[in-house]
Structure 1
Amino acid sequence: MSEERSLNFLEEIIEEDIRNGKNGGRILTRFPPEPNGYLHIGHAKSICLNFGIAKKYNGKTNLRFDDTNPTTEDVEYVDSIREDIKWLGFEWDKELYSSNYFDQLYDFALNLIRMGLAYVDDSTAEEIASAKGTPTEPGKPTPNRSRSIEENVQLFEDMKAGKYPDGAKVLRAKIDLASPNMHLRDPLMYRIKHAHHHRTGDKWCIYPMYDFAHGQSDAIEQITHSICTLEFIPHRPLYEWFIQQLNVFPSRQYEFARLNMNYTVMSKRKLLQLVNENYVTGWDDPRMPTISGLRRRGYTPLSIRNFSERIGVARRENLIDLSLLEFCIREDLNKSAWRRMAVLDPVKLIISNYPKDQIEVMDGENNPEVEGGDGSRPIPFSSELWIERDDFMEEPTKKYFRLGPGLMVRLKNAYIIQCDSFVKDDTGRVSEIYCTYIPESKSGSDTSGIHVKGTIHWVSVAGAKTAEIRLYDRLFRVEDPSNEEGDFKEYINPDSLSVIKNAFIEPDLENAEPGFGYQFIRKGYFSLDIDSSPDHLVFNRTVTLKDTWAKEVKKS
């Protein structure tokens, strides 16, 4: 984190705690994902915050999987979460699970029952919801609220022993049915679920609710700063009530604004719909806001950490512009990505006065933004080249500085050429362009004295490799699809993916590896996709060179 910026409100709290000697100056945070889906960019912000704060103040962070719902959780998600955190550049102190504490949580629940602060309720979910009242009307006790302590203990033990089917009974805290905070109106603590758990197997058929498991897990681990998003503010009094009644370590909950970003959705439930209904190819589809999707698309850990730093830590919800994330990846890749040439919409260019069978090797810097160019690579040059179709115009306009009849341009890293003629195929489309080159105009040793305003990229026909290019855009065509009328999937952008089957690329790119960024000169930043094979190279466009979306929105 930058030392020049002012402290955010969480850092101010922590520094005050350290000055006061709270917890002996010890800082321990936790990142507690539920393993029921893949992490997304919103989780990345929470990861950067929890791990970043602990690191700044010489503390530690636990990774704790909130695995209290066996019907939605899977080892696949556990593995992906581990991978995402490590990829972002963070290491946890202890890997823990809420299921580690099932025995302790059960004992905590028995203690509350014995104190007269919890009871078993046979009411249905609908009856419980109705009896809770409304925010303006107090709730009413269900018939089971007055059960004796002895009966509640026996019933709860019978629940654990598997004597009742799913939904037959729940354990509720006995707090205040007239509380203005609905979360304090006898909240559920345990429910019956006869389901196989990915870690505990079939040992348990009762599972703690989040509000009971979360705070007590924090207390067991002696978490000093339990950092949650704003929707948990109403849950804080319940978090504190359980801790106070059980007289356990007084962990403290703090809330910050979750990350909401335009042109996407952040709900795991909605992301799962996109996956299950085949609107995307999987959780790691490069259009998804998941960390695995961003990684596959070519985003770097540094760009996401910088993005999290730039948006800061706020106490108020707001909608972050996706363009800021794209700015962060452009900023990083501009400094690190190797430059290569790729022609996505090719037309053949023939240099009439260049020796037909000659292959000349040009020298190209890997990255001119790095002092020394970050090395260089050989670029084969010949009499036949591929150039972009839109770099040629049959009838050039006044300020057109690329190629056209009689016009001259420089070929990147090579020579100046002049267009002499062109031919069309049977459909009327330009199929070949004929030029002559100026031998004295070679880049790096130009003695021609000729100055041209345009430079275009190219790939030599000799040695060119073919590749599939996947061009990605925003997944949704509206800024906030979750707040639109109807099904959010109706607003999916039909042009979020376009595929170019046969682009031509420099031969050096056959050695590309996933995770390494390339700038295709004048085309954008790209990364090799995991679908690639030696015989079929596939590149994903990470981001365009410039923010073109804003311009398109203004036009529409």
Structure 2
Amino acid sequence: MPEILNTTSNFIQNEINNDLQNGRYGEGVHTRFPPEPNGYLHVGHAKSICLNFGLAQQYGGKCNLRFDDTNPVKEDVEYVDSIQADVKWLGFSWDDRMFYASDYFGQLYDFAVQLIQAGKAYVDDSTAEEIRAMRGTLTEAGKESPYRNRSVEENMDLFTRMKKGEFGDGEKVLRAKIDMASPNINMRDPVIYRIAHTTHHRTGDEWCIYPMYDFAHPLSDAIEGISHSICTLEFEDHRPLYDWLLEAVGFDAATRPRQIEFARLNLTNTVTSKRKLRQLVEEGYVSGWDDPRMPTISGLRRRGYTPAAIRAFCREVGVAKANSLVDVAMLEHCVRDDLNNNADRIMAVLRPLKVVITNYPEGQKEYMLAENHPFKGGHRYVPFTRELYIEQEDFMEEAPKKFFRLKPDGEVRLKHGYIIKCDEVVKNEDGSIRELRCSYDPESKTGGATANRKVKGTIHWVSAEDAVRAEVRLYDYLIETDEKGEVPADFLAAVNKNSLEVLHDALVEPSVRLTAEGTHYQFLRQGYYVVDKDSTPEHLVFNRVVGLKDSWAKAKKG
């Protein structure tokens, strides 16, 4: 397994080290990644995956994959499958330790009965609105429910009938009996079971009552023998309830799981709320959960981000105790760095402009030797003919002094090929440029008498006869933000209507004609691109992964 964590210890590693030195958790470090299968995982989950599996790797321990499938109203097998695919794609394995909270429904029910019999839980007939009102505020204590002092016998009877399906959704709930005056609102008799007459994707209609997350999570951890329950910072205020439940049902304080919180990943220009991401999908702002503009792991994968780059990013971000906003340019830097080392180079013309080399023999074709990668080596042959295409932006009719590409009477070197000179600009009736008439220096190719003649510009090109037409999708940030990169409250109003530009007439080298989905290339002078899943042998589709400009690397040097 590749390196996941920084070599410098973080505060979580320090806590684990202290536990091990004190003789706690003699069976070793055992973590878990517990996603709820109600949507696709996003880049924030990638940080949690890398942390939990990385800690297990570092300490020679184990990491479970456990689905928190306690809310059948929002869950689906599609999400279960996608989560497994994402974790594997990132490079991790749970071996034979894939579990579901629903595996423990029987045990969780028994724990609830145990709390009732100990006088630590009661059935409440209050509505959700009434319970919310009774909880109080941060400065005002809560109020006890009129049903709080029901007898154990009455609570057992009602809870049993809840399980049998005698009551409707929302008619009754089971609440832990803790302290309505607690300064921590989470300890003010939280709901631990609710009624939901909904078919569960695994248990079918066996159950019509389901445990709440705050009840199922700590008990599932304890059942699985988890040593360290690593959660994001929003669960810090839930830790007293986590500990209370484990103690209330009798788990030994010396060996039961410890909850430790870390700051979640917040990225500039990025929405990482499952609810908001679902809204973008369901309301048609994107083509699906794997739209390359989405920060979902499946979206990043389709965009062309690599597992190694995401792992590197998570190492670079590190683990902190306080929430902060990370510049998305840092993630792009990690992607660019990985692809720079691994992606082969090819030539592609995104917005073609025709060039006719008038002194090159008609019908002649030669093959130019081109290097595939500056570090890894390898070569290919690129066809060169009388008619070529270059980028429209590589020609300027009225060029400024420091424009070192092609211009009237100006010279430029064609990458891997000859030096050419623009002799004539041919225009359409509307004044737009139709083609350029150029001449070439036959001795300027590698090995020729003028091969070392210096010209200030080098541009890429493709043969008009041999180039393969391709669809190229150019992506920008999906959400427009302020100068700090923060997402506004009304995020739908900030959706960037220009986040996708599709070029239908791009041209690429013929060497990529049968390239497989997911293959990466650097389009010389353009950026990094990946073959999209929509590609066929007859219709190539490329997604732009990231451009060549690296603002994060420049900022670090500054």
- Identify the TM-score tier after normalising by the shorter chain: over 0.9
Q: Which moved more, 1:121-130 or 1:437-446?
A: 437-446
* CA displacement at 1:64 relative to structure 2: 0.1
- Partner in structure 2 of residue 48 of structure 1: 50
Amino acid at match of 1:273: Q
Spell out the pairing of 1:282-301 with structure 2 (5 A cutoff).
282-301=288-307
CA distance in 1, matches of 2:6, 2:295: 30
Please state if 1:462 is matched with 2:465.
yes
Q: Which moved more, 1:79-88 or 1:1-10?
A: 1-10
Alignment of 1:192-271 (within 5 A): 192-248=195-251, 250-271=256-277
What is the letter of the counterpart of residue 517 of structure 1? H
The answer on 1:438 being equivalent to 2:444 is: no
Question: Match for residue 484 of structure 1?
Answer: 488
| Contact 2:480 2:487 survives alignment (8 Å) | no
State the Cα deviation string for residues 47-68 of structure 1 (Å, max 9, x = none). Answer: 0000011101101100000000
Q: CA deviation at 1:303?
A: 0.4
Q: CA deviation at 1:248?
A: 2.0
Contact 1:363 1:376 in 2 (8 A): yes
Structure 1: gaps spanning 5 or more residues: 552-556
SS at match of 1:512: coil
* 1:504-515 pair list within 5 angstroms: 504-515=507-518
- Quote how far apart the aligned CAs of 1:450 are: 1.7
Relative distance call for 1:502 and 1:483 in structure 2 (3 A) is: closer
SS of the residue corresponding to residue 17 of structure 1 reads helix
Q: Aligned-pair distance for 1:494?
A: 1.8
Aligned to 2:148: 145
**d(CA) in 2 for partners of 1:194, 1:109:** 19
Counting only pairs closer than 5 Å after superposition, residues 331-370 of structure 1 correspond to structure 2 as 331-370=337-376
1:495 equivalent to 2:498? Answer yes
Partner of 1:170: 173
- Structure 2 residue corresponding to 1:182, chosen from 185, 191, 201: 185
Structure 2 equivalent of residue 26 of structure 1: 28
Q: Could you tell me the TM-score, scaled by structure 2's length?
A: 0.95
SS at match of 1:50: helix
Distance 1:247 1:206, change over 3 A: same
Deviation at residue 397 of structure 1 after TM alignment:
2.1
- Residue 388 of structure 2: aligned partner: 385
Once residues 370 and 112 of structure 2 are traced to their aligned partners in structure 1, the CA distance between those partners, rounded to angstroms, is 69
Per-residue deviation, residues 23-56 of structure 1 (Å, max 9, x unmatched):
1150100000000000000000000000011101
1:278 is aligned to 2:280: no
The 3-state SS of whatever aligns with 1:441 is: coil
Identity %: 59
Distance 1:72-1:4 versus aligned 2 partners, 3 A rule: closer
Q: Which moved more, 1:455-464 or 1:128-137?
A: 128-137
Instruction: Determine the C-alpha separation between the residues in 2 that align with 1:439 and 1:27.
Output: 69
Q: Do the aligned partners of 1:17 and 1:25 also contact (CA within 8 Å) in 2? A: no
Partners of 1:446 and 1:281 in 2: how far apart? Answer: 55
Q: Which amino acid aligns with 1:267?
A: S
Q: What SS class does the counterpart of residue 70 from structure 2 fall into?
A: coil
Letter in 2 for 1:224: S
SS at match of 1:270: helix
Do the aligned partners of 1:334 and 1:369 also contact (CA within 8 Å) in 2? Answer: no
Equivalent residue runs for 1:123-138 within 5 Å: 123-138=126-141
Distance 1:443 1:511 in 2: 29
Q: Structure 2 stretches of 5 or more lacking a match? A: none
Note if 1:62 corresponds to 2:64. Answer: yes
Match of 2:455 in 1: 452
| AA aligned opposite 1:79 | D
Contact 1:525 1:544 in 2 (8 A): yes
Counterpart of 1:512 in structure 2: which amino acid?
A: T
Residues of 2 paired with 1:423 and 1:532: CA distance? 35
Structure 1 residues 260 and 412: CA distance shift in structure 2, 3 A: same
Q: 1:118 to 1:2 in 2, by over 3 A?
A: closer
In structure 2, what is the equivalent of residue 96 of structure 1?
99
CA distance in 2 between partners of 1:347 and 1:91 (Å): 49
Q: Identify if the C-alpha distance between structure 1 residues 184 and 448 changes in structure 2 by more than 3 Å, giving closer, same or farther.
A: closer
> 1:490-509, CA deviations, whole angstroms, 9 ceiling, x for partnerless residues?
01112211111111111111
AA of the residue aligned to 2:488 = E
CA distance in 2, matches of 1:245, 1:445: 86
- How many equivalent pairs are there? 547
Given the superposition, is the C-alpha separation of residues 464 and 74 from structure 1 closer, same or farther in structure 2, using an over 3 Å criterion?
A: same
Answer yes or no: is the 8 Å Cα contact 1:35–1:74 preserved in 2.
yes
Cα distance in 2 for residues equivalent to 1:180 and 1:483:
32
Alpha-carbon distance in 2 for matches of 1:402, 1:140: 76
**Aligned residues of 2:30 and 2:61 also touching (Cα < 8 A):** yes
Shift of 1:322: 0.6
Q: CA deviation at 1:4?
A: 7.4
TM-score by length of 1: 0.96
Cα–Cα, structure 1 residues 52 and 430, in superposed 2: closer, same or farther, change >3 Å?
same
Residue 444 of structure 1 and its aligned partner are, at CA, apart by: 5.4
Q: Secondary structure at the match of 1:96?
A: strand
* Residue in 2 that maps onto 1:554: none
Letter of the 2:29 partner, please give it.
Answer: I
1:385-444 CA-to-partner distances (Å, cap 9, x unmatched) read: 000111111123212211112211110011111111121011111111111111111135
Distance 1:409 1:245 in 2: 79
Which AA in structure 2 matches 1:394? E
Distance 1:33 1:21, change over 3 A: same
1:429 has 2:432 as partner:
yes
| SS of structure 2 residue aligned to 1:23 | coil
CA contact (8 A) 1:131 1:139 kept: yes
1:326 to 324, 332, 353: 332
* Residue 472, structure 1, aligned to residue 478, structure 2: no
Match of 2:78 in 1: 76
| d(CA) in 2 for partners of 1:111, 1:264 | 44
Give the Cα–Cα distance (whole angstroms) in 2 for the partners of residues 412 and 226 of structure 1: 55
SS at the partner of 1:134?
Answer: coil
Deviation of the 1:362 alpha carbon = 1.0
Question: Partners of 2:304 and 2:4 in 1: how far apart?
Answer: 25
Question: Over the residues paired in the alignment, what is the CA RMSD in angstroms?
Answer: 1.7
1:549 deviates by: 11
CA distance in 2, matches of 1:114, 1:192: 20
Q: For 2:410 and 2:279, how far apart are their aligned partners in 1?
A: 53
Could you tell me which amino acid in structure 1 is paired with residue 52 of structure 2?
N
Change (3 A) 1:332 1:188: same
> For the residues of structure 1 that align with 2:281 and 2:248, how far apart are their CA atoms?
43
Greater CA drift, 70-79 or 406-415: 406-415
- Mean Cα displacement is larger for which, 199-208 or 122-131? 122-131
Residues 549 and 263 (structure 1), Cα distance of their counterparts in 2 relative to 1, 3 Å cut: farther
What is the DSSP-based 3-state SS (H/G/I as helix, E as strand, rest coil) of the residue aligned with 2:148? helix
SS at match of 1:145: coil
- Aligned partner of 2:405 in structure 1 is 402
